[in-house]
Amino acid sequence: FSTTTATDIHTAIFNASYNKYVRPSNITYVGIEFHLLSINDMDFKRQIMSSSGWLTVTWEDPRLTWNASTKGDIEYIYTKQDKIWRPELIIDNSVEGMSPLGHDEIFFKVKHTGEVRWEPPGIYVTHCDFNVLYYPFDYQTCSVEVTSFAFTNKAVTFNSVSESTKNLKKNGEWVLHSLRGSKQNLTENGEEFSQVEFKVILKRLSRYYVNNVVYPVVVISLLTNVVFLVPAESGCKISYILTVLLTQAVLLTLIGNSMPTTSIQIPIIAMYISFVLLMAALATIITTLNVYLYLRTDQKAVPRWLKAFTFVVLLRINCRSAKVNEEDKGNVVSNEDTVNVEESNGKGKTMWNRLLAQTKDDAEFPFKCQEVSAFLDCFFFYLFNIVLIITTLVFLVVSAVSDVPPS
Helices 369-401 and 215-223 cross at an angle (nearest 10°) of 170
Burial environment of residue 330 by CB neighbours within 10 A (0 to 12, 13 to 18, 19 or more)? exposed
337 confidence band (pLDDT: 50, 70, 90): very low
pTM of the entire structure? 0.78
Comparing CA positions, the residue from 115, 108, 176 lying closest to residue 141 is 176
Q: 330 pLDDT exceeds 60?
A: no
Q: Is the peptide bond before 136 cis (omega within 30 degrees of 0)?
A: yes
The predicted model gives 257-265 an average pLDDT of 73
Would you state the pLDDT for residue 38? 96
- pLDDT of 354 reads 55
Give residue 42's region: left, alpha or beta (phi > 0; psi -120 to 50). beta
Report yes or no: 340 and 350 within 8 Å, Cβ to Cβ: yes
Instruction: In whole angstroms, give the CA distance from residue 256 to residue 252.
Output: 6
Local confidence band at 181 (pLDDT 50, 70, 90 cut-offs): very high
